[in-house]
Amino acid sequence: MTVENDSPKGDVETVIEVYELHASASSGRARRDHDQLARLGKKSVLKRHFSFMSILGFSCTVLITWEVTLIVYPQSLLNGGPAGVVYSFLVVWLGNACLFSTLSELASLAPTSGGQYHWVSMLAPRSCAKFLSYVTGWLALTGWQGITSSVGYLMGTTIQGLIALTVPSYSPQPWQGTLLLCASVLLCVLVNGGGSSILPKIEGMILVLHILGFCAFLITLLTLANHNDVSPIFTTFYNGGGWPSQGLSFMVGLMGNVYAIVGVDSSFHMSEEVKNPSITVPRSVMTSIAINGVAGFAMVIAILLAIDINNIEAAITSRTGFPFMDLLLKVTGSMSGTALLITIIIIMCAFCSIGVFASSSRVMWSFARDRGLPFWRHLSKVDPRTSVPLWAIAVTTVISCLLALINIGSTIAFNVVVCLSVSGVYSSYLIVTVLLLYRRCTGALEISNPHVSDSSGKELVWGPWHIPGVYGIINNVFAIAYLIIILIVSCFPPVIPVQASTMNYSSIITGSVTIFSVVYYLGWARKVYQGPIVEI
C-alpha cells in the first residue's frame, strides 16, 4: 500500500536531509574512534584523515616490495641461486603473513601509535610489564630510525647508480650519497610537516603509480627479454657465500627477501590518524601483504627468466652497484627507456621515505608521550595548526642527517645502521608475539572471558579482527618460529671467510641498544616511565 505525502519535500530539502544523515554518521564514527582511544587511556589529539584506501596506499608504498626485489635479488641469488630466490621469497611472504596477522589482532584490540611497546605493557605479567615495555619501545624506536636512514640511503645510491649507468665517466662518492640522503630527508620534512591532511591525499596517487610501474616492468621483462627455461629456475641452487652446506646458504639468502617486506607495521603507528582503525588498519595491512606479495613474486619470476642463470657471478655484478639496471638496458636496448623505468623506482623510494619518516616520527612521539624518552615534554607536543608532532619530526630529521654523515667516513659503519632496521623492529615483534601466545595459552584472552585485566588494570578484549581458537595459537607459534629464524640468520655475514667489509654487525648493534635501554631504565627511566600513561 502506498501512502501519499501531503507535503512532499523539495530537492533542496532532500539534499539537506541526506547531508545531515551523512554528517551524523560521520560524527558517530568519529565518536566511536574517540571512545576506543579513550578506553586505552589516550586523548585523541591527531586528526583522522586516513581512510581505507589512503592507509592501504601508505602501507603499500612503505613496503614497495617489487621495487626492492629488483634491487636486492643479488643477495638471495648469491646464497641460494635461482631456486633459492623463489623459495626464500615464498617463505618470507608466508612468514610475514602469519606475523602481521598476529600483530593485526593486537592493532584491532588496541589501535595506538605506540604499537609494540604499548601492547607489551598490556600483555606482560604485571611484575615485568614496565621493564619489558620500555626495552621494546627502544628497540622499535631505534629500528624505525634505522629504517628511515636506510631507505633514504637506498634512494640516494639508486640515483648514483642511474648516473653511473648514463655517464660512464662518473664515479660515485660516499659524500654524494650522504647529500642525496639528506635531500630525501628534506622532502620528508616538507610533506610531513606541512599538515596531517597532505600525506593521505598523496598516498592514493602513489598507490596507482606503484601498480602501473609494476605493470610496466613486468611487461618489459616478459616481452623483450630472452627467457630461460622455466624448470631450472625451480631446481638450480647455488652457494656463492662459501657456506658448509647448501641449506645454510639458503638460510642466509633469506635476508635478501626479508628486506623487501620490512616495515609492514608502519600502518600500526598511524592508527590514531585512521578512521575506524580497529578494522581499517588490519585490513589494510593484510591487503598490502597480499598485493605486494603477489607483485614481488611475479617480479622474482620475471627477473629469473631474464637473467643468465648459468653465469650467476656475472648476473650479480654491476659497475653501477645495481645489476637490475644493466639487465634493463640489455633487455630494452634503450638508455632513455631504461632511465625512465629506473626513475619510477627512485620516485617510489622517495615516497617510501616519506611514509617511513611519518611512522618513525609517530613512534618517537608516542613513546615520548608516555615519558619513555628524554625531553619528553617537548617531543610529545602536537602542533595545533598542522596537527602533527613537529618536535618529533624535527628530532627524526636531525638523527637521520647525523646518521647520514657516518657514510662519508665509513660505508661499513653505516651498514651497522642498516642492520639495525631489521634486527631492532623484528626483536620488538618477537617480544610482543611471545607475550600474546602466553596470554592465549593461559586463557587470559578469550571472547567468552573479556574481563581480564592487563598490567595496568584495563580490560583485555579482542577487537573485531581476530583469529579464533586453536588457529590463532598455531598462527602465533609459526610467527614466533619465523621471527627466531630471521633474527638468527640476520646475524650471519653474506660470505665467508669474514672480513671487515663483509662483517654483519647486527647482533652487536641490537645488543648495544638493548644494554643501553636497560642501563638507562635502571638509572633514570624507571623513576619516570610507568608504561602507557592514562590521560583519560
Domain membership flag for residue 390:
yes
**Residue 427 belongs to domain with CATH number:** 1.20.1740.10
Q: Which of 533, 528, 526 is nearest to 112 (CA)?
A: 533
Q: What is the pLDDT at residue 25? A: 46
* pLDDT tier, 121 (very low <50, low <70, confident <90, very high otherwise): very high
42 within some domain: no
Query: Reduced to 3 DSSP states, what percent helix, strand and coil does the chain have, rounded to the nearest 5?
Result: 70, 0, 25
Mean pLDDT on 339-357: 94
Between residues 414 and 281, the one the model is more confident about: 281
Q: Report the 3 state secondary structure along 325-386.
A: HHHHHHHHCCHHHHHHHHHHHHHHHHHHHHHHHHHHHHHHHHHHHCCCCCCHHHHCCCCCCC
Question: Between these two residues, 33 and 145, which has the higher pLDDT value?
Answer: 145
In a domain, 149, yes or no: yes
Question: Which range (42-51, 86-95, 438-447, 516-525) has the least confidence?
Answer: 438-447
Give the span between the Cα atoms of 355 and 391, in whole angstroms: 17
Q: Is residue 222 part of a domain?
A: yes
**3-state SS record for 52-95:** HHHHHHHHHHHHCHHHHHHHHHHHHHHECHHHHHHHHHHHHHHH
The one-letter amino acid code at 418 reads V
Give the residue ranges of DSSP H helices in 453-524.
469-489, 506-520
Question: Is it the case that residue 26 has pLDDT exceeding 70?
Answer: no
CA distances from 399 to 240, 359, 406 (A): 36, 15, 11
So what's the pLDDT on residue 108? Answer: 93
Region 58-69: mean pLDDT is 91
Give the residue with greater pLDDT, 411 vs 347: 347
Q: For residue 409, is it within any domain?
A: yes
Local confidence band at 263 (pLDDT 50, 70, 90 cut-offs): confident
Locate 147 and state its grid cell: 629504517
Tell whether 16 is covered by a domain: no
Q: Count up the domains in the chain and report the number.
A: 1
| Residue-range definition of the domain harbouring residue 215 | 50-447+460-527
Cα–Cα distance for residue pair 277/32, rounded to 1 Å: 10
pLDDT tens for 189-217 read 999 988 778 888 888 888 999 999 999 99
The pLDDT tens digits of the residues spanning 428-445 come to 999 999 999 998 888 766
What cell was used for 143? 629500528
Percent of the chain with pLDDT over 70: 89
Q: Is 64 left (phi over 0), alpha (psi -120 to 50) or beta?
A: left
Asked if residue 297 lies in contact with residue 90, where contact means CB atoms within 8 angstroms, the answer is yes
- In DSSP notation, 394-411 reads HHHHHHHHHHHHHHHH-H
Is residue 24 in some structural domain? Answer: no
Q: What is the pLDDT, as a whole number, of residue 198?
A: 87
HSE at residue 324, side-chain half, CA atoms within 13 A, is 26
Q: Is 48 left (phi over 0), alpha (psi -120 to 50) or beta?
A: beta
Give the tens place of pLDDT for each residue, 151-182: 988 899 999 999 999 998 998 888 898 899 99
| 170 within 8 A of 142, measured Cβ to Cβ | no
Residue 419 forms part of a structural domain = yes
DSSP-assigned letter for residue 274: B
Q: Burial of 198 by CB count in 10 Å (0-12 exposed, 13-18 middle, 19+ buried)?
A: middle
Within 8 A by CB and 6+ apart from 528, the residues are 371, 376
